[in-house]
Amino acid sequence: MIKIKFFNSITEAELAKNLLKGNGIESLVHRKGIEFPGDLGDSYGAELFVTKNNIEKAKEILEIYSN
């Protein structure tokens, strides 16, 4: 898996993951920092990973929907 994007919030990363999944691309969200009970971890951000074969397609999809 290759990191393709860093998001400032976990929520944004999860939305991007769902968007990619809806377009047939499996991805993985890696949360940054340490989380505590009741802490959503949004202050730490998250990284989005895809397989090497899907890098270009995933970036294209994310670019289209980010505008």
pLDDT value of position 43: 64
**Number of independent structural domains in the chain:** 1
How far lies 61's CA from each of 5, 11, 21, 32, 43, in Å?
A: 12, 18, 11, 23, 25
CATH code, 58: 3.30.70.1530
Q: Span 52-60, mean pLDDT?
A: 97
pLDDT of 62 strictly over 80? yes
pLDDT value of position 8: 87
Express each pLDDT in 10-55 by its tens digit. 889 999 999 999 999 999 999 887 666 565 555 688 999 999 999 9
Q: Which residue range(s) make up the domain with 30?
A: 2-66
